[in-house]
Amino acid sequence: MQEKLEIDLAQLPEEGKAFSGELDAKVFGLPENDAQPVGPLEYDLYVQRFDDELLLRGYVGTPFEFTCARTNKRFVQTISLEEAAVSLEVTSGTVDATEALREEVLINMPDYPRCDEADEPMECEIDERYLALDKPAEDSVSDAPSHEGEQADQWSALDELNQFKDNK
């Protein structure tokens, strides 16, 4: 498995050339608490040169493990672009397209991943226990616990902070 997709312009025919393969998932380098790739970055691209520009068109995709924004369940969703188009500036005899392909996949990741959009969709319902704030009266969800004998005024706790005030 490759770690980079480098295109040697001296070996690139004038009419272009097809490139396909896989890049190691390490190219993403995402933080530990973020979505993580569970497979390689796959590509199937046709590459052409136009003067000082290199155009890559085709498929790019990687499976990622996400945490559902609604249910907090882990699931796998493949981020794939069937018709990706990446343009790179030609500055030398070899062009490294790795970072551009990485960014193309990351830009298309969902802002709020949901398990019903997974490769194997799951039921994506919010647990009603988390909806107790604005619940209808006939709902079976219990209210948040309260301290007995305490005033219902939520601002009364701020009055107690006066003891920390520096009285001069």
Specify if 55 maps to a domain: yes
80-89 average pLDDT score: 94
- In DSSP terms, which residues pair with 87 in a beta bridge? 55
130-164 pLDDT per residue, tens: 665 555 566 565 555 555 555 556 666 676 676 66
Phi then psi for residue 139, to 5 deg, are -70, 150
Give the number of domains in the chain.
Answer: 1
39-68 pLDDT per residue, tens: 999 999 999 999 899 999 999 999 999 999
Specify if 148 maps to a domain: no
Specify if 57 maps to a domain: yes
Tell me which of 79-83, 113-117, 126-130 is least confident: 126-130
d(CA 47, CA 17): 5
Specify if 84 maps to a domain: yes
CA distances (Å), 94 to each of 1, 24, 90, in order?
20, 20, 8
Averaged pLDDT score across all residues of the chain? 85
Binning pLDDT at 50, 70 and 90, where does residue 29 land? very high
Specify if 64 maps to a domain: yes
What is the model's pTM?
0.71
The domain containing residue 53 runs over which residues? 6-117
